[in-house]
Amino acid sequence: MKRILLPILFLLGFSVSAQKNLSPRKLYPGLFEQVQLEGIYPDGKSFPDALPKKSPVEIMKDYQLQKNAKDFNLKHFVEENFLAPESHNVNYVSDIPAGIEKHLDTLWTVLKRNPDVTGGYQTSLIPLPNAYIVPGGRFREIYYWDSYFTMLGLKEAGKKVLIKNMVDNFAWLIRNYGFIPNGNRTYYLTRSQPPFFSLMVQLLAEGDPSVKISDYSEVLEKEYAFWMKGTENLQKGKAINHVVKLNDGTVLNRYYDAGAVPREESYAEDLRSVQKTRQAKPDFYRNVRSAAESGWDFSTRWFADGKTFGQIITTDLIPVDLNGLLYNLESVIAIAYKQKGDAAKAKLFSAKAIKRKQAILKYCWNPSLKFFTDYNWKKQQQSKQLTLAATSSLFFKIASNAQAAAVIEKIQSDFLKKGGLLTTLNKSGEQWDNPNAWAPLQWISIAGLRNYGNNKLADTISDRWIDLNVKVFKETGKLMEKYDASAPKSLGGGGEYLLQDGFGWTNGVLLKLLSVRAK
């Protein structure tokens, strides 16, 4: 009997272990698709985040037994077997007369999640060992690039322990998964987000002798390996994963989701969108997912004709801002090795950073437009799309003084509006397009301008952004995910879901700008 039971127990244990990272669509095949397509929840992200009342195996067994019955009611079945997820700030009511700074201070508590408790029935949440801040609204989990901008405000609020907790959560994800996913959900395990981890480590170490960048050298290099995977055997003029090797042997990076199926959190939307493209379905889905990895989901920046969603070509583009982030990562890894006394490795990564900077200047500086743009590696030409991503070249001090002056001139003449800076110049209805403005891009632009000594324009943008945030707060009692930069009191719009409030990175950037203005 022992000889029979042991293999069975081993297989059961293996089965449970293998299942822990399965996404909802894999846990609930058939049921998942039916729930999403019939719109049982108004938001496509709700069912992937739902909390099961019993094990997925039991739920699927009951579903198979009941689904073909004449009186089967899908909505009733879902309500019996799942709890709908809650928005993290759903019950929070702001005290407007107390002022925006009091509101910001209170929001850190509202948006904070304590270390995730393991156990219970399996959900899509990947439990994290330390406390963290979520953006708010439908975004109930930690998000990768959001968190850097949230940390800017946490630092001003003196919440260094929470910053370290979040950095350590990301380090834990890198150690356990080899990269930082879009968010800590199993359905995000096919992609990352803009790699801001090196900037988080720099922020944590700033002015604190107890923290060294070298403390995180192992995970910094492991994240770098994720973004560079496949480089070794890549032929010229080809791409694999996140890596592109151009015809002259230059290596740069692109966004690339490992999946080529509809996103689980936007399943019905993707099935509708694929009807509007001539691309092969797997290619289209990968381009959509890769745009989601960029954080700019969605924008005409990724569309071949600058206007049509069906012509999304994210994986054909080498983004200027992504490569700026990887330039920073290479530079920070070099600093880490210098701190460890490993001169050879420090020199190696410094050389990588210098080479990437030269490549960004060669391929992403558009001399005819006098602006930094993305590079289409398949067509071997620069994109004609003008976007606020150009200011990343100032943020990372990549641009020459002359290039910076040209970028600044266009920012002032074309992008600057009453409420701050537009994301792009195209009005498309997509949320990362005109007239919408986003906190992270305001900060990158403002900081970039200061790097090149243009404090006057930096102050103008900062003042307009603060004023817009404050005016909307006084009317609504909320801080929003995005705003309309063209109008003095307007909320942002467009995109696949309703405007969210909370909101992590808006709070962080606003608090940072208020602090800078007060000095």
**DSSP 8-state class, residue 124:** S
Whether 475 is catalytic is no
Give the ranges where 20-94 is alpha helix by DSSP (H): 24-27, 31-37, 46-49, 56-66, 74-81
Whether 297 is catalytic is yes
The dihedral sign for the CA sequence 297, 302, 305, 311: negative
Catalytic residue among 141, 156, 257, 297: 297
**Directed axis angle between helix 343-364 and helix 320-339, to 10°?**
170
Cα separation, 474 vs 101, in Å, equals 12
Cβ atoms of 55 and 15 within 8 Å: the answer is: no
3-state secondary structure of 60: helix
For tokens 């042991």, name the residue. 6
Cβ atoms of 401 and 393 within 8 Å: the answer is: no
Residues pairing with 397 in the sheet: none
Could you tell me what percentage of the chain is helix, strand and coil, using 3-state DSSP and rounding each to the nearest 5?
55, 10, 35
Within 10 angstroms of residue 292's Cβ, the number of other Cβ atoms is 23
Cβ atoms of 390 and 444 within 8 Å: the answer is: no
For 372, what's the count of Cα atoms within 13 Å in the CB-facing half-sphere? 33
| Alpha-carbon separation of residue 490 from 388, 436, 462, 465, 473 (angstroms) | 20, 10, 17, 12, 11
DSSP string, 222-253: HHHHHHHTT-TTPPTTEEETTEEE-TTS-EEE
Catalytic residue among 270, 481, 484, 501: 481
Active site residues: 297, 481
